[in-house]
Amino acid sequence: MSANSVRNGRSLPALSLGRKMRRLAFYCAITAILFVFLFPIYWTFTTSTKPESQAFSIPPVWLFRPTFDNYLAIFQQQSFGTYVLNSVTVTTTSTVLALLIGTPAAYGLSRFRFRGRSQIAFFILSSRITPPVLLMLPFFLLYQNLGLLGTTTWGLTVAYLTFNISLVVTLMANFFDDVPRELDEAALVDGASRWTTFVRVVLPLSRSGLATAAIFCVVFSWNEFLYAFILTGSETRTLPVLLTTFVRSTGTDWGKLTAAASFVMLPMLVLSFFVQRNLARGLTYGAVK
């Protein structure tokens, strides 16, 4: 076996060359994988700070003097503030509503065994499956008739609920299943009502679940395109639609496009940095049912 050296009271076996090589290969593989998944993001950020002349040279320019002209250009665009406001409004409202409506439903599905339970569970799941193209036609016609298209973002907020409610219910029901029933029972035995048990006992323990559900709703609503494109007018558009306006028949303004794309990306990346532990866990909750 290899020679042992002692350091701080613990022994460190010297690694054989074979193991060192395999470890190196492993870290090379990891780096390659991270490169593949992170390069396009890095490219978007750096291109947005490149002067127009250097943005598309082949071979690509790796070292350059960054400029924020592209960002200034899009911020100064008249409607930019409107786009941002609409995105923020729709995202927050839809997420909050979905949480308010979906969390009690998840609790109900998790704690009670009642007639019609599996039908209701399937019904809630089905709105997750429904392709938006099915609903966009009636939504469009309805909103057009009600004059909602260009005047308010409520139409979009409500349309997002079809997905967000289902998301919240599925995730939170799984989460509540992991909260021990004994806690509920202890509270009930002490005379608390179901609602009080839910609000005072179970909910405080579910903060990370709620954060996860919220993050998923936020990411979905912030990034959604189809409904945002169809169900809005020029005053009610959201950021993803802005991105497509840079692609014109006269050519694409890649500098402004990457700047706008970076701007749209940034909040999501920052937000998820704070909840990354919840993200991965939440994905499994969304899947396991």
Partner 1 sequence: MQRLTAQRAQPLFFVSPAVLALLLVGVYPTLSALLISFTRSDLLTPANNGFVGLDNYAAVVADPRFWGSLVVQGGYTFGGAGLQMILGLAIALLLHRSFRGKSLVRALILAPMLLAPVSVGLVWRLFFNADAGMVNYFLGLVGIGPIAWLGSSSTALWAVVVADTWQWTPFVVAIALAGLESLPADPYEAAAIDGAGRLQLFRYLTLPLLAPLLVLTATLRAIDSIRTLDLVFVMTFGGPGVSTQTTNFFVYLTGFFYYHMGLASAIAVLLTIIVTIGATVLIRVTRAQTEATT
Terminal-residue alpha carbon distance, the chain: 49
**CB distance 23 to 31 below 8 Å:** no
Of 161 and 236, nearer to partner 1 (C-beta) is: 161
Half-sphere exposure of residue 64: CA atoms within 13 angstroms, side-chain side = 18
Q: Enumerate residues 161-220 that contact partner 1 by CB under 8 A.
A: 161-162, 165-166, 169, 194-195, 198, 219
**CB distance 86 to 237 below 8 Å:** yes
From 6, 36, 63, 189, residue interacting with partner 1 (rule: CB under 8 A): 36
For residues 22 and 150, give the distance between their C-alpha atoms in angstroms, rounded to a whole number.
Answer: 60
Binding of residue 33 to partner 1 (CB under 8 A): yes
* Rg, C-alpha atoms of the chain: 25
Residue partners of 195: CB distance under 8 A and separation at least 6: none
CB of residue 32 vs partner 1: minimum separation in angstroms? 11
Of 88 and 101, nearer to partner 1 (C-beta) is: 101
CB of residue 289 vs partner 1: minimum separation in angstroms? 8
Q: Enumerate residues 267-286 that contact partner 1 by CB under 8 A.
A: 268-269, 272-273, 276, 279-281, 283-284, 286
CB of residue 67 vs partner 1: minimum separation in angstroms? 19
Applying CB under 8 A, the site for partner 1 has a residue count of 92
Report the alpha-carbon angle 87-210-81, nearest 5: 10
From 84, 96, 225, 233, residue interacting with partner 1 (rule: CB under 8 A): 225
For residues 5 and 11, give the distance between their C-alpha atoms in angstroms, rounded to a whole number.
Answer: 6
Of 3 and 119, nearer to partner 1 (C-beta) is: 119
Half-sphere exposure of residue 68: CA atoms within 13 angstroms, side-chain side = 5
From 109, 149, 167, 214, residue interacting with partner 1 (rule: CB under 8 A): 109
Report the alpha-carbon angle 195-198-201, nearest 5: 130
Q: Enumerate residues 73-92 that contact partner 1 by CB under 8 A.
A: none
**Mask for 37-76, x = binds partner 1 (CB under 8 A):** xx-xx-xx-----------x-xxx----------------
For residues 255 and 106, give the distance between their C-alpha atoms in angstroms, rounded to a whole number.
Answer: 45
Binding of residue 104 to partner 1 (CB under 8 A): yes
Q: Enumerate residues 247-266 that contact partner 1 by CB under 8 A.
A: 247, 252, 254, 257-258, 261, 264-265
